[in-house]
Structures are given as structure tokens and as C-alpha cells.
């Protein structure tokens, strides 16, 4: 296992739709193990394959559900169902490892369910309503569809986020990745 660089807003990998995984190979297993290692190093709630430069349709998650229990897993070829009303709580800040150091209130459905397969090729269902996990499921599937949470913000807030990333020097000189092992330098 190894920690991989995380792509930053503006990186081409974050703007493309992902490809369906046809078979769980040793390369896919290595990618998933590396993604867990990377997410843990960055103290993230989840990580989608495009965030480490891969085009495969999969994500990992490691965050609390509505009961406060930390859930951890991988979903390959997820299909997302949203339910419950759309909520925008100014107190609930959503962040993203690809927009390091920033967070903004983001409208999301209260509940989410993803269906897909695990590393053994078995069907799985992951569901939550009202917890961080519900938000993370929606957030990670957005990544797989080539979208960032910034796309859900008002134009003014989106500009604020992009300006902050630029001000931090994240996109200076064409550098569009960061190493989560260097969190102090990342100022995340």
C-alpha cells in the first residue's frame, strides 16, 4: 500500500466521467488499498478514484453514519438513489480533499443509498439518512460523474472557493496535486 497524490480542482481527472469496472483485478485491489491509505493520511471522509488520478468507477468511505458509528468500505460501480428533502444548513460545512483547506455549506438530499459491488464481486447496499455518510455517498458519486461539490454552490461561493485555492498557491505553476503526508505544508 502507498499514499498517492490527491488531485486538486482544475485537474483533468476531476472533470471526466469514470469507466465501469468490468472485473476486480489485482490492480483494482491495489488501487483500493492505496485509496484507503491516502484517505487515512488526509483524514478524509471518503475518496473517489479520480481524486488519485484513476478513471475507474469506485470510491471508498470512512465516516460516521446517522447513529454516529464509523462505517468503512468500498463501492465499485455505484448507483446512487437520493431521498428525503434537500437540505442546506449553514452550520454543516462540506469539504473536499480536492479543494484542500476549504469548506462551504452545500445543499444535499437528507438521505442516500448506493448499490454496487465490493472487492469480492458481491452486491452491496450502503445507506444513510441524516449522517455524514449520506452526504459522503452523494459527494463521492458526484466525483465519479466528473463533478465537484463546488458545482453545487452559488456563483459567489464558488468564486470564493476558487479564489481561496489560488490564494493558497495550490494551482500555482500548474501543480494540480498534493501529498497528504505533508498536511502541515498543505495547511488543510
CA distance 134 to 112: 5
C-alpha cell at 48: 473517489
Residue 184 has pLDDT above 60, yes or no: no
What is the rounded average pLDDT of the residues 160-187? Answer: 77
CA distance 176 to 77: 26
pLDDT at position 183 is 63
pLDDT at position 185 is 46
pLDDT at position 165 is 80
What DSSP letter does each residue of 48-79 carry, written as one string?
Answer: EGGGGT--BSEEEEEEE-TTS-EEEEEEEEEE
Is the dihedral angle over the CA atoms 119, 147, 17, 41 positive or is it negative? negative
Instruction: Place 70 in a pLDDT band, splitting at 50, 70 and 90.
Output: very high
Q: Which residues are catalytic?
A: 140
Give the annotated binding-site residues for Fe cation: 96, 139, 143
Residue 173 has pLDDT above 90, yes or no: no
Residue 143 has pLDDT above 80, yes or no: yes
Contact 158, 150 (CB under 8 A): yes
pLDDT at position 119 is 98
Q: What is the pLDDT of residues 115-135, one digit of tens each?
A: 999 999 999 999 999 999 999
Residue 179 has pLDDT above 70, yes or no: yes
Q: Which of 51-55, 150-154, 167-171 has the highest mean pLDDT?
A: 51-55
Amino acid at each position: 500500500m502507498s499514499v498517492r497524490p490527491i488531485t486538486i480542482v482544475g485537474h483533468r481527472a476531476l472533470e471526466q466521467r469514470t469507466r465501469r469496472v468490468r472485473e476486480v483485478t489485482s490492480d483494482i485491489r491495489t488501487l483500493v488499498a492505496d485509496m484507503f491509505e491516502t484517505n487515512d493520511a488526509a483524514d478524509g471522509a471518503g475518496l473517489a478514484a479520480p481524486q488519485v488520478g484513476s478513471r475507474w468507477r469506485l470510491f471508498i468511505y470512512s465516516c460516521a453514519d446517522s447513529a454516529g458509528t464509523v462505517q468503512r468500505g468500498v463501492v465499485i460501480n455505484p448507483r446512487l438513489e437520493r431521498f428525503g428533502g434537500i437540505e442546506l444548513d449553514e452550520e454543516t460545512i462540506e469539504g473536499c480533499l480536492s479543494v484542500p483547506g476549504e469548506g462551504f455549506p452545500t445543499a444535499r438530499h437528507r438521505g442516500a443509498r448506493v448499490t454496487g459491488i465490493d472487492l469480492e464481486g458481491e452486491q452491496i447496499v450502503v445507506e444513510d439518512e441524516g449522517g455524514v455518510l449520506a452526504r459522503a455517498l452523494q459527494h463521492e458519486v458526484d466525483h465519479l460523474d466528473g463533478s465537484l461539490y463546488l458545482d453545487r454552490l452559488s456563483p459567489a461561493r464558488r468564486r470564493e472557493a476558487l479564489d481561496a485555492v489560488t490564494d493558497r498557491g495550490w494551482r500555482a505553476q500548474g501543480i494540480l496535486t498534493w501529498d497528504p503526508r505533508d498536511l502541515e505544508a498543505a495547511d488543510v
